[in-house]
Amino acid sequence: MEVSVTSTEQIKRNDEVLLDVNELAKSVRSDLKNLHSLSDDCCISRVPKRLRQLNEKAYTPRAVSIGPLHHGKEELKAMEEHKRRYLNEFLEWSEVSIEDYIKQIKEHETRLRNCYSETVGLKSEDFVKIILIDAAFIIMVLLKQSLKEFRSKKDRVFSKPWMIGEVRFDILLLENQLPFFILDDLFKLSNKPPEGHELSIIMLTHNFFIDTFGSWVAKRILDKHDFSKIEHMVDFLRICQQPPKLQNRKKLKKLTVPSVTELLQAGVKFELGSSKKLLNIKFQNGVLEIPPLQIDDNSEILLRNLQAFEQCLCNRDNYVSDYITLVSMLAKGPKDVEILARNGIMENWLVNSEGVSTLFQKLVQENLLFPDDFYFSSLVEDLNSYCKNPWNKWKATLKQDYFNTPWAVISVIAAGFLLIFTVIQSVCSILQLI
């Protein structure tokens, strides 16, 4: 009997174990079923904590939320009424029914959701509404920026310089994006270009950023790059600096680049490059040609969000991040910045030169570097080889110490002639004695 009881208890315990396993399996299956599907459309992501903690403000909208990631935040709710007013203006201008716009967005809802790297936990109705209002807001901002006839004195955004200024920069934050294709679709659906203007959403975007980042966006950039697959506003700005053809890259053996001051001491000359492409840095015959770089209070926001975009989405070349790495080593201190400024290369709108070098030292923190795929590997190798050549250093020292001014040159020449005359006089005296 004891054996029988023991067997019965064992069976009960086994049943309980089986029951627990089944419940757990059911729970895991449910979790797997609710996983956010991976998609090639993914292009909008939250900034990694390691980057965000370096400068929270550089990634956080100040005036307006665009898309679902920052929607509903208390500090951004004041703009919601303005967004609805812009939607009303958009509907009046386009003469397309709100039902047609909703159908267009609903048709692409899955693709829109897939553009975000995380599951957007909103009901379909709420998600479509956010996309509609925010897309209409952006389109109207672009129209008002390009065409003054779209503005009115009653406009509470463009009539306040501080507000439109903050909106401009909120639009370029990585976490504050809408997929570009939906802006294009809704704009085309209106099929009503402004009177006297043949405009597309990409042309409006170009005009918008020309006014905001004139030094970053070339006037004829639309003729030189394919923007048909642009993903969002941050991607547009990144493409504006993309090299026409990515050069073959050597493996970076060691990332050591002399500072501007050290290069100058080694005899390197600095010249302002004619290209607006920041990456178009050339070094030939001892001359380092660098395209112009304007640094102001908003440069950090732009560079940080481009950097985050590259690092969050692994199928892109990290050429902006590589540029940040290179400049951080060239401009290690205030003296380096001053040399670049004297040569017209760097236009500094910050308080002082130290602010620029400090900015790039901050930007390079947590900046990912891939030695096998560093964009400037050949340039780094050439600069190091030039500086290691003792002949180049000797020429530079001679020029800097003895030929640094016209008077110094004259003095050296005069001393040379004096030495020659002295030698001749000495020889003549010796000959007379003989």
Q: Is 288 exposed, middle or buried (0-12, 13-18, 19+ CB in 10 A)?
A: buried
Identify the band that residue 400 occupies on the pLDDT scale cut at 50, 70 and 90. Answer: low
* Range in 108-117, 209-218, 364-373, 378-387 the model is least confident about: 209-218
Q: How far is the C-alpha of 218 from the C-alpha of 240, rounded, in Å?
A: 7
Under 8 Å between Cβ of 58 and 306: no
Identify the band that residue 1 occupies on the pLDDT scale cut at 50, 70 and 90. Answer: very low
> Tell me, what's the pLDDT at 86?
97
Neighbours of 113 (CB within 10 A): 21
Higher pLDDT, 423 or 321: 321
Cβ contacts of 78 within 8 Å, gap of 6 or more: none
Cβ contacts of 247 within 8 Å, gap of 6 or more: 375, 378
pLDDT at 399 over 70: no
The two structure tokens encoding residue 168: 């401009």
pLDDT, one tens digit per residue, over 94-103 is 999 999 999 9
Which residue, 155, 132, 131, is CA-closest to 143?
A: 155
Under 8 Å between Cβ of 297 and 370: no
Q: How far is CA 317 from the centre of its chain?
A: 12
- Span 46-63, average pLDDT: 96
Average pLDDT, the chain: 86
CA 123 vs CA 7, 315, 316: distances in Å: 52, 30, 32
- H or E stretch covering 212: helix 201-212
Under 8 Å between Cβ of 295 and 278: no
C-alpha gyration radius of the chain = 31
pLDDT, one tens digit per residue, over 249-293 is 778 877 889 999 999 999 999 999 988 889 999 999 999 999 999
> Tell me, what's the pLDDT at 218?
83
pLDDT at 77 over 60: yes
pLDDT at 371 over 80: yes
* Range in 3-12, 105-114, 142-151 the model is least confident about: 3-12
Which pTM was predicted? 0.84
Under 8 Å between Cβ of 377 and 248: no
Backbone angles phi, psi at 288, to 5 degrees: -100, 115
Q: How far is the C-alpha of 3 from the C-alpha of 18, rounded, in Å?
A: 22
Q: How far is the C-alpha of 283 from the C-alpha of 354, rounded, in Å?
A: 26
Identify the band that residue 244 occupies on the pLDDT scale cut at 50, 70 and 90. Answer: low
Higher pLDDT, 84 or 25: 84
- Span 42-67, average pLDDT: 96
